[in-house]
A = this chain, B = another copy of it.
Amino acid sequence: MKARLTASRERIVAAAIGILAEHGYAGCSVAAVAERAGLATGTVYRHFPAKADLFAEVFRAASQREVDAVARAAARESTAAERIRAVVETFSGRALQSPRLAYALLVEPVDPAVETQRLVFRRAHAALLAGYIAGGVASGELPPQDPELASTAVVGALAEALVGPLAAGVAGPDTIGGLTTFIHRALGVSP
Interface residues of A, dominant DSSP: helix
Cβ–Cβ contact A119 & B164, under 8 A: yes
A48 to chain B, nearest CB (A): 21
A135 to chain B, nearest CB (A): 18
Contact of A110 among B109, B111, B153, B187 (CB under 8 A): B109
A146 to B111, CA, bound (A): 35
A165 to B140, CA, bound (A): 28
A66 contacts the other chain (Cβ, under 8 Å)?
no
Flag A3-34 by CB within 8 Å of B: 1 or 0 each: 00000000000000000000000100000000
Cβ–Cβ contact B153 & A116, under 8 A: no
Q: In the complex, what residue of chain B is closest to A189 when comparing beta carbons?
A: B185
What chain B residues lie within 8 Å of A181 (beta carbons)? 145
Query: Which of A37-45, A53-61, A74-82, A167-175 lines the interface with chain B?
Result: A167-175
Contact of A149 among B26, B182, B186 (CB under 8 A): B182
Contact of A156 among B148, B150, B160, B169 (CB under 8 A): B160
What chain B residues lie within 8 Å of A158 (beta carbons)? 153, 156
Cβ–Cβ contact B26 & A112, under 8 A: yes
A99 contacts the other chain (Cβ, under 8 Å)?
no
What chain B residues lie within 8 Å of A150 (beta carbons)? 178, 182
A157 contacts the other chain (Cβ, under 8 Å)?
yes
Q: In the complex, what residue of chain B is closest to A188 when comparing beta carbons?
A: B185
Contact of A186 among B123, B168, B186 (CB under 8 A): B186
Cβ–Cβ contact B160 & A152, under 8 A: yes
A-B contact pairs, 9 of them (CB 8 A): A109-B111, A109-B112, A122-B160, A145-B178, A146-B178, A149-B161, A156-B164, A157-B160, A160-B160
